[in-house]
Amino acid sequence: MFICRLSGNRSLVACCVLLMMAVPALSARAEEPPPFSPLSPASASKPGPFIHSDGATIYRAVCQGCHMPDARGARGAGEYPALAADARLASAAFPAARVLGGWLGMPRFADMLSDAQIADVVNYVRTNFGNRYPDRLCAGDVARIRTTVQSGGEK
Protein backbone atom coordinates (compact mmCIF):
# COMPACT_ATOMS: atom_id res chain seq x y z
CA MET A 1 0.00 0.00 0.00
CA PHE A 2 2.99 2.29 0.16
CA ILE A 3 4.06 4.41 -2.69
CA CYS A 4 7.72 4.89 -3.42
CA ARG A 5 9.63 7.35 -1.35
CA LEU A 6 9.50 10.75 -2.92
CA SER A 7 12.77 12.39 -3.63
CA GLY A 8 13.73 15.95 -4.36
CA ASN A 9 11.03 18.57 -4.36
CA ARG A 10 7.92 17.31 -2.66
CA SER A 11 4.89 19.33 -3.66
CA LEU A 12 1.99 19.95 -1.36
CA VAL A 13 -0.20 17.76 -3.56
CA ALA A 14 2.26 14.89 -3.36
CA CYS A 15 2.34 15.36 0.38
CA CYS A 16 -1.42 15.08 0.63
CA VAL A 17 -1.52 12.03 -1.57
CA LEU A 18 1.10 10.46 0.60
CA LEU A 19 -0.80 11.25 3.78
CA MET A 20 -3.99 9.85 2.28
CA MET A 21 -2.36 6.62 1.35
CA ALA A 22 -0.25 6.15 4.42
CA VAL A 23 -2.75 7.33 6.99
CA PRO A 24 -6.25 6.34 5.98
CA ALA A 25 -7.68 8.01 9.09
CA LEU A 26 -6.75 11.45 7.79
CA SER A 27 -8.86 13.37 5.37
CA ALA A 28 -7.77 14.05 1.82
CA ARG A 29 -7.20 17.74 2.40
CA ALA A 30 -4.01 19.11 3.84
CA GLU A 31 -4.83 19.49 7.49
CA GLU A 32 -3.99 22.23 9.87
CA PRO A 33 -1.03 21.14 12.00
CA PRO A 34 -1.90 19.94 15.53
CA PRO A 35 -2.21 22.68 18.16
CA PHE A 36 0.89 23.81 20.04
CA SER A 37 1.52 22.76 23.61
CA PRO A 38 1.54 25.61 26.14
CA LEU A 39 4.80 26.69 27.68
CA SER A 40 5.37 25.44 31.19
CA PRO A 41 4.33 28.12 33.69
CA ALA A 42 7.26 27.12 35.86
CA SER A 43 10.00 28.25 33.54
CA ALA A 44 10.47 30.46 30.54
CA SER A 45 13.12 28.22 29.10
CA LYS A 46 11.60 24.79 29.70
CA PRO A 47 8.38 24.39 27.75
CA GLY A 48 6.01 21.95 29.31
CA PRO A 49 4.91 18.49 28.24
CA PHE A 50 2.96 17.79 25.07
CA ILE A 51 -0.80 18.29 25.28
CA HIS A 52 -1.93 16.04 22.43
CA SER A 53 -4.10 13.18 23.52
CA ASP A 54 -4.48 10.69 20.67
CA GLY A 55 -1.87 8.61 18.89
CA ALA A 56 -2.39 10.07 15.42
CA THR A 57 -2.06 13.64 16.68
CA ILE A 58 1.00 12.85 18.80
CA TYR A 59 2.61 11.30 15.75
CA ARG A 60 1.83 14.36 13.64
CA ALA A 61 2.95 16.81 16.32
CA VAL A 62 6.13 15.10 17.49
CA CYS A 63 7.31 11.94 15.74
CA GLN A 64 7.01 12.99 12.12
CA GLY A 65 9.60 15.71 12.67
CA CYS A 66 12.21 12.98 12.22
CA HIS A 67 10.41 9.82 11.16
CA MET A 68 8.52 11.84 8.51
CA PRO A 69 4.80 12.08 7.71
CA ASP A 70 4.95 8.77 5.81
CA ALA A 71 6.95 7.08 8.62
CA ARG A 72 9.56 6.08 6.10
CA GLY A 73 12.40 7.87 7.91
CA ALA A 74 15.05 9.85 6.06
CA ARG A 75 18.66 9.75 4.99
CA GLY A 76 21.18 12.58 4.97
CA ALA A 77 24.65 12.51 6.46
CA GLY A 78 23.09 10.07 8.89
CA GLU A 79 19.62 8.59 8.95
CA TYR A 80 16.30 8.39 10.77
CA PRO A 81 14.92 4.87 10.83
CA ALA A 82 11.65 4.09 9.05
CA LEU A 83 8.76 2.98 11.24
CA ALA A 84 6.64 1.92 8.27
CA ALA A 85 6.32 -1.83 7.83
CA ASP A 86 8.81 -2.25 10.63
CA ALA A 87 9.42 -5.79 11.91
CA ARG A 88 11.09 -4.40 15.03
CA LEU A 89 7.69 -3.14 16.17
CA ALA A 90 6.51 -6.74 16.72
CA SER A 91 7.20 -6.21 20.41
CA ALA A 92 5.29 -3.18 21.68
CA ALA A 93 7.77 -2.77 24.52
CA PHE A 94 10.55 -1.94 22.06
CA PRO A 95 9.16 1.33 20.66
CA ALA A 96 7.84 2.29 24.12
CA ALA A 97 11.32 1.92 25.64
CA ARG A 98 12.86 3.96 22.81
CA VAL A 99 10.34 6.76 23.22
CA LEU A 100 10.96 6.83 26.98
CA GLY A 101 14.73 6.54 26.95
CA GLY A 102 15.88 7.87 23.59
CA TRP A 103 18.57 6.21 21.51
CA LEU A 104 21.47 7.31 19.25
CA GLY A 105 20.65 10.99 19.29
CA MET A 106 16.89 10.43 19.58
CA PRO A 107 15.62 12.57 22.45
CA ARG A 108 14.17 10.88 25.51
CA PHE A 109 10.52 11.74 25.94
CA ALA A 110 10.09 10.29 29.44
CA ASP A 111 9.50 13.78 30.87
CA MET A 112 7.48 15.11 27.95
CA LEU A 113 4.91 12.37 27.29
CA SER A 114 2.69 10.55 29.79
CA ASP A 115 2.30 6.78 29.96
CA ALA A 116 -1.08 7.07 28.23
CA GLN A 117 0.32 9.28 25.46
CA ILE A 118 3.18 6.86 24.82
CA ALA A 119 0.78 3.90 24.76
CA ASP A 120 -1.45 5.78 22.30
CA VAL A 121 1.29 6.73 19.89
CA VAL A 122 2.89 3.29 20.00
CA ASN A 123 -0.50 1.69 19.31
CA TYR A 124 -1.05 4.13 16.46
CA VAL A 125 2.28 3.41 14.77
CA ARG A 126 1.89 -0.35 15.27
CA THR A 127 -1.49 -0.33 13.49
CA ASN A 128 -0.69 2.14 10.71
CA PHE A 129 1.96 2.72 8.05
CA GLY A 130 1.76 -0.91 6.96
CA ASN A 131 2.15 -2.26 10.50
CA ARG A 132 -0.55 -4.69 11.65
CA TYR A 133 0.11 -5.67 15.22
CA PRO A 134 -3.22 -6.35 16.92
CA ASP A 135 -2.03 -6.38 20.55
CA ARG A 136 -2.45 -3.05 22.35
CA LEU A 137 -0.22 -1.37 24.85
CA CYS A 138 -1.95 0.27 27.83
CA ALA A 139 -0.73 3.06 30.09
CA GLY A 140 0.02 0.53 32.83
CA ASP A 141 2.36 -1.35 30.50
CA VAL A 142 4.24 1.87 29.75
CA ALA A 143 4.47 2.66 33.47
CA ARG A 144 6.21 -0.70 34.00
CA ILE A 145 8.57 -0.14 31.06
CA ARG A 146 9.25 3.34 32.43
CA THR A 147 10.59 1.88 35.67
CA THR A 148 12.93 -0.45 33.82
CA VAL A 149 14.17 2.36 31.56
CA GLN A 150 14.75 4.55 34.59
CA SER A 151 16.30 1.88 36.76
CA GLY A 152 18.63 1.14 33.88
CA GLY A 153 20.23 4.43 34.88
CA GLU A 154 20.78 7.54 32.91
CA LYS A 155 22.87 6.81 29.90
Partner 1 sequence: MMSKLQGPRGLTRRQLLKRIGTAAGASVMYRSMSALGHSNESSYAGPVNLGAAPADTRVLVLGAGLAGLVAAYELRRAGYQVDVLEYNDRVGGRSWTLRGGDEYTELGGFRQRCEFDEGQYLNPGPWRIPYHHHAMLDYAKRFNVPLEPFTQINFNAYLHSQQAFAGKPQHFRHVQADYSGHVAELLSKATNQGQLDDAIGIEDKEKLLESLRHCGMLNKDLRYGVSNRVSRTRGYDVDPGGGLMPAPLNSTPIALDDLLQSGLWKYLASDLDYEVNPSMFQPVGGMDRIATAIHREIAPSVHFGAKVIAIDQDDRGVTVRYVDSKGGGAPKSMLAAWCVCTIPLSILAKIELQVGEKMLAAIQAPSYSASVKIGLQFKRRFWEDDDRIYGGITYTDLPIQKIGYPNHGMNQGGKGVLLGAYVWGANAFEFTSMSPQDRVRKAVELGALIHPQYRREFENGIAVAWHRAPFAQGCAALWTDAMRERHYENLCAIDGRIVLAGEHASYLPAWQEGAVLSSLDAIRRLHRRIVSHA
Residues of the shown chain interacting with partner 1 in the complex, contacts defined by CB under 8 A: 6-10, 12, 15, 33-34, 36-39, 41, 43-50, 60-66, 68-69, 74-80, 102-108, 112, 153-155
Q: How far apart, in Å, are the Cα atoms of 59 and each of 8, 17, 70, 132? A: 23, 18, 11, 17
Q: Which of 138, 56, 142, 57 is nearest to 101 (CA)?
A: 142
119 burial class (0-12, 13-18, 19+ CB within 10 angstroms)?
buried
Please say which residue, 106 or 143, places its beta carbon nearer to partner 1: 106
Please say which residue, 47 or 140, places its beta carbon nearer to partner 1: 47
Q: How far is the CB of 11 from partner 1 (least distance, A)?
A: 10
CB atoms within 10 A of CB 58: 25
Please say which residue, 37 or 127, places its beta carbon nearer to partner 1: 37
Q: Say if CB 137 and CB 98 are below 8 A apart.
A: no
Q: How far is the CB of 82 from partner 1 (least distance, A)?
A: 12
Please say which residue, 40 or 91, places its beta carbon nearer to partner 1: 40
Please say which residue, 10 or 144, places its beta carbon nearer to partner 1: 10
Q: How far is the CB of 134 from partner 1 (least distance, A)?
A: 27
Residues 6+ apart with CB under 8 A from 140: 115
Q: How far is the CB of 139 from partner 1 (least distance, A)?
A: 20
Q: How far is the CB of 138 from partner 1 (least distance, A)?
A: 24
In angstroms, rounded to a whole number, what is the distance separating the alpha carbons of residues 127 and 146? 22
